[in-house]
Amino acid sequence: MRWVSTTATVLAGALLVGCAGKSVTVTVTTQSIARSPTRPPVKRPTRLPVNEYRVPSGSMEPTLGIGSHVTLQPGSPKVGEIAVFYPPEGAEEQVCGPQRHTVVLGAAACSVPIPTESDVNFIKRIVAGPGDEIYVKEGHVYRNGLREQDSYIKECGPVPECNFLTPIKISAGHWFMMGDNRGESDDSRFYGPIPTSWIVGIVRGATPQGSSE
């Protein structure tokens, strides 16, 4: 997938669909949502107490396959947990920071997000938290000098998007999110850490695709 060239591709690979309630119809648009300086602010969706989501992409493989359902609960985020969250505005275009730049592969991951949340949901694993210093080598996260215990990831090797070798420090109140499929995930490497307030819930259970509910 890497370096995506269209917004539609990113949306198809990153959106989550809420499944709470008996019958929910969701329409996903794949047209560009690039924002201009004169465009009115996006109206944010009402945050309903939805506690179940369907995973539509392979960014969390092999842990969560396409079509898996996950159950969420509120709680304090912790490194190692999987969470559903609102990414920064511009995440679909892999835009980093208030200056809205694109990160340089192989250098430093995005350390500062755009300060406005998006109106979509992503699902990723929390790999670092407030005050942590991290870099990424061949898809493995090195946090405060130690490599994560990451038997759950899909290896991605020496490709450019799997290497961000310049360390960054995570700001207070922020969390660095990455997909377990490190070579096929649009995550904090490209759009920055997530404020605690943007986290919808922590994954506490999962039902694989095709399993009985």
Widest distance between CA atoms in the chain: 48
The active-site residue out of 124, 154, 185, 188 is 124
Helix, strand or coil, per DSSP, at residue 162 = helix
124 counts as catalytic: yes
59 counts as catalytic: yes
Tokens 């396409």 sit on residue: 66
Tokens 């392979």 sit on residue: 58
140-to-8, 135, 174 alpha-carbon distances in Å: 28, 8, 20
Which residues does residue 56 pair with via DSSP β-bridges, in sequence order?
Answer: none
CA dist., res. 87 & res. 132, Å (int):
20
CA dist., res. 108 & res. 103, Å (int):
7
The active-site residue out of 57, 59, 68, 188 is 59
Reading the block at residue 185, the tokens are 């995930």
Tell how strand 106-108 and strand 164-169 pair up: parallel
Close Cβ partners of 36 (under 8 Å, ≥ 6 residues apart)? none
Contact 116, 210 (CB under 8 A): no
Which residues are annotated as catalytic? 59, 124
